[in-house]
Amino acid sequence: MPDQLLFAMEVSLNGLMTGIMYALVALGFVLIYKASGIFNYSQGVMALFAAMTLVGIQEGRVPFSHLINSIFGTHITEFGFEVPALLAILLTVAVMIAFALFVQKFVFRHLVGQEPIILFMATIGLAYFLEGVSDLMWGSEIRQLDVGLPQGINGAIDNATFEALGYGFFIDNLDISAAIIAAILVAVLIAFAQYTKQGRAMRAVADDHQAALSVGISLNYVWILVWSLAGIVALVAGVMWGSKSGVQFSLSLIALKALPVLMLGGFTSIPGAIIGGLIIGMGEALFEFVVSSNDLFGAWFGFTFSATENWFAYVLALAFLVFRPQGLFGERIIERV
Amino acid sequence: MFYREAGDYKTSYAQDNQTFPIAFDRYRYYFVVAVGFALLPFVMTDYLANAILLPFLIYAIAAIGLNILVGYCGQVSLGTGGFMAVGAYTSYKLMTAFPWMDMVSVTLLSGLMTAIVGMAFGLPSLRIKGFYLAVATLAAQFFLVWLFNRVPWFFNYSASGQISAPERSMFGWAITGPAANPSVKYLFCLLFVFVLAWLARNLTRGSIGRQWMSIRDMDIAAEIIGVNPLRAKLSAFAVSSFYVGIAGSLFFTVYLGAVEVGASFGIQKSFLVLFMIIIGGLGSIFGSFAGAAFMVLLPVALTRIFADGFGWDTALARHIEFVIVGGLIMFFLIVEPHGLARLWALAKEKLRLWPFPY
């Protein structure tokens, strides 16, 4: 097999793995959108906040230490103990649920019945707010996150592909565990939505607010539930991305990566989020591979491009939307006067 | 007691349709314009111009532009930063390629170029609506920034990848470059703001403005009563981008002088201008000014209070700024979705009846 083809295969495989990470973020969007019609721009910042909180609790940092030190002139930064990973994760989940309560009580309860675009802009405000809170609580330095996930090259795949094709594929263990965790997460979410009482209530609200209210489902409760779930999904995404590239501000930008995934897959479909993520992950990796390669693109056109990941996903989604405005799996858009 | 229509007789249709129907408002407007043109240039300092007035004026143009698109035509755009970059880079290419060209032409041509680019990116709006479109405009944002960052022709193959404005002058006064006087820079921007705001006000209350508003309120219904959605949407994109392009051009040539595209015209800039119009008031020219003033003054005030007043480090003040800005956005959307402009209008209503409110 020619080298270029092997490289391309490796690149697409890695792209698929990245795509799963995008899909993880996109999942949180879909959950909230389905149940409340809110397009939650702050999902990425929620992932950052969750990961920051997890690291902060694990390392036993004092929240708001910068602020406290500035006001009182003290020099406290850490409690001086470390929290085991599992307990820290549980505590972070508690924080995310508290955040869901806060958001519902102070923001979105007051915005019921507003236009979707107003709700969208409110979540942009929420993203700024949460980003500021996250920085105030834990500082804005880059933190290393380690919850015991395997890292580094996967030896088994490397060996197997080397024997079969004569070229070992580089696949990160972290990406593989991300894929497995994403699969489990989706299975659990679907099972939750299909087979539990709360899940049924959630689907009822998603279908029709008014009808759900009239059979005695508490809208408030369901929305808190959904925001908590989105917070937990954000935590998972934050842990994955944080283990991969450190917990830092750029983590919140993965939300921007998840948006084209959503446009492609449709805002209302969980399988759509996964497939959209895979298409975008693979598409942008392959596109970058081709246009930055001297042998392929350079040989035909005489110049090459780089860093196309920033916009490729958007342009792909945009081109796609022009032909199918509701995305791959979205519900058909029906408009009436 | 002075704030009344009573006694102010209107004898023509033109008088009946004027922007400021109340005499007091009219004189206040003349007064503000007079202070802006005749008083402020003589008391200008470097700090006043660079920290407050220049960014305020330039962001006001950008906010008016975005308000035409979002507030009047209802097409949410997150590509403002990218379009500002188009204006800035067009100015740079024009200034370096045609050194004899005067600054007014350069700025206007930059606006026109941005209008063309804006129309191209506005085309999908005919098929995509709501936040699908908002996300689609992000494509413009990321693609344009990447383009100016990666294609060396745009920054004339300079090693740093930055662009910097050469010195240009009009009537013997330097407008751009390090030698320019802050009063001259201020007047140059103010002139554009004055003309563009006047134009926007009159566009939005004319036939084209009504078409935009009918598209915003319900595009299918508007189409049925005979508004051409293609023309209405594309003209909104064109006019809006024209304004935004001029703002970007002035931001680069007059205000900053040297620009690195990712830092100056990134996604943060798009959000900043969007916040200005949300806080100021969607669908209001006055709101664009109010929002721009608010968002320019807020960081200055917060730095003053927290960093200079309390002696905290600036990073902390910045984080608090994020919390406050985010909180205010949510607060305004909950309490008053029409922003500062609506509060202003309410205050004026109250004032008309004062001191006998019945």
Q: Is B119 helix (H, G, I), strand (E, B) or coil?
A: helix
Nearest to A70 among B150, B220, B316 (CB): B316
Closest CA to A233 of A57, A19, A16, A46: A46
Please check the confidence at residue A302 and state whether its pLDDT lies above 70: no
Please check the confidence at residue A168 and state whether its pLDDT lies above 80: no
Please check the confidence at residue A264 and state whether its pLDDT lies above 70: yes
Nearest Cα of chain B lies from the Cα of A277 at a distance, in angstroms, of 16
Between A295 and A187, the more confident residue is A187
Residue B196, both tokens: 């563009």
Nearest Cα of chain B lies from the Cα of A177 at a distance, in angstroms, of 30
Give the largest Cα separation in chain A, rounded.
68
CB A169 within 8 A of CB A157: yes
Nearest Cα of chain A lies from the Cα of B198 at a distance, in angstroms, of 28
Q: Between the CA of residue A259 and those of A27, A209, B237, B320, what are the distances in Å? A: 11, 25, 22, 27
Any domain includes A316: yes
Q: Does A126 touch chain B (CB under 8 A)?
A: yes
- Convert A116-151 to b/e letters by CB count within 10 Å (16 or more is b): ebebbbbbbbbbbbbbbbbbbbbbbeebebebebee
Q: Does A112 touch chain B (CB under 8 A)?
A: no
Please check the confidence at residue A25 and state whether its pLDDT lies above 90: no
| Domain range enclosing A265 | 3-323
Q: Which bin fits B262, alpha (ψ -120 to 50), beta or left (φ > 0)? A: alpha
- Residue B163 backbone dihedrals phi, psi, to 5 degrees: -120, 145
- Residue A261 backbone dihedrals phi, psi, to 5 degrees: -60, -45
Nearest to B135 among A128, A135, A263 (CB): A263
Any domain includes A105: yes
Q: DSSP class of residue A249?
A: G
CB A266 within 8 A of CB A272: yes
Any domain includes A191: yes
Q: Strands B258-259 and B169-170: what pairing?
A: unpaired
Give the largest Cα separation in chain B, rounded.
70
Nearest Cα of chain A lies from the Cα of B55 at a distance, in angstroms, of 22
Say yes or no for a CB contact (<8 Å) between B319 and A263: no
CB A132 within 8 A of CB B320: yes
Please check the confidence at residue A1 and state whether its pLDDT lies above 60: no
CB atoms under 10 Å from CB of A244, counted, come to 17
Say yes or no for a CB contact (<8 Å) between B330 and A107: yes
Q: Tens of pLDDT along chain B (358 residues)?
A: 677 777 778 888 888 888 887 777 888 888 888 888 888 888 888 888 888 889 999 999 999 999 999 889 888 888 899 999 999 999 999 988 888 888 889 999 999 999 999 998 888 888 777 777 887 788 888 889 888 888 878 887 877 778 888 888 778 777 777 777 888 888 889 999 999 999 999 999 889 999 999 998 888 899 899 899 889 999 999 999 999 999 999 999 888 888 888 788 888 889 889 888 888 888 888 889 999 998 888 888 887 887 777 777 777 778 888 888 888 888 888 887 778 888 888 888 888 887 777 7
Any domain includes A196: yes
Closest CA to B336 of A9, A131, A251, A114: A114
pLDDT of residue B179: 74
Say yes or no for a CB contact (<8 Å) between A318 and B124: yes
Q: In A, residues 225-264, which contact B (CB 8 Å cutoff)?
A: 256, 259-260, 262-263
Any domain includes A314: yes
Say yes or no for a CB contact (<8 Å) between B139 and A314: yes
Any domain includes A337: no
Say yes or no for a CB contact (<8 Å) between A129 and B323: yes
Count: domains in chain A: 1
CB B259 within 8 A of CB B88: yes
End-to-end CA distance of chain A: 59
CB A133 within 8 A of CB B327: no
How many residues make up chain A in this entry?
Answer: 337
Any domain includes A82: yes
Dihedral (CA of A304, A310, A315, A316) sign: positive
Dihedral (CA of A325, A330, A332, A337) sign: negative
Say yes or no for a CB contact (<8 Å) between A337 and B218: yes
Mutate to test the interface with A, among B66, B69, B77, B131 (most CBs of A within 10 A): B131
CB A238 within 8 A of CB A57: no
In chain B, residues with a C-beta closer than 8 Å to the C-beta of A260 are 135
Cα–Cα distance, A189 to A183 (Å, whole number): 10
Q: Does A124 touch chain B (CB under 8 A)?
A: yes
Say yes or no for a CB contact (<8 Å) between A130 and B326: yes
pTM: 0.86
Say yes or no for a CB contact (<8 Å) between B132 and A321: yes
pLDDT of residue B263: 82
Q: CA nearest A39 in B: which residue?
A: B131
Any domain includes A9: yes
Nearest Cα of chain B lies from the Cα of A311 at a distance, in angstroms, of 5
Residues with Cβ within 8 Å of B19's Cβ and at least 6 positions away in sequence, in order, are: B201
Nearest to B139 among A128, A305, A315 (CB): A315
Interface predicted TM-score (ipTM) of this complex, two decimals:
0.80
Cα–Cα distance, A281 to A273 (Å, whole number): 12
Q: Does A213 touch chain B (CB under 8 A)?
A: no
Q: Which of A1-15, A274-288, B18-32 has the lowest mean pLDDT?
A: A1-15
Say yes or no for a CB contact (<8 Å) between B143 and A311: yes
- The model's confidence at residue A295, banded by pLDDT at 50, 70 and 90, is low
Q: In A, residues 259-278, which contact B (CB 8 Å cutoff)?
A: 259-260, 262-263
In chain B, residues with a C-beta closer than 8 Å to the C-beta of A70 are 310, 312-313, 316
Count A/B contacts: CB-CB distance under 8 Å.
Answer: 136
What is the four-CA torsion angle of A173, A286, A27, A36, rounded to 10 degrees? Answer: 170
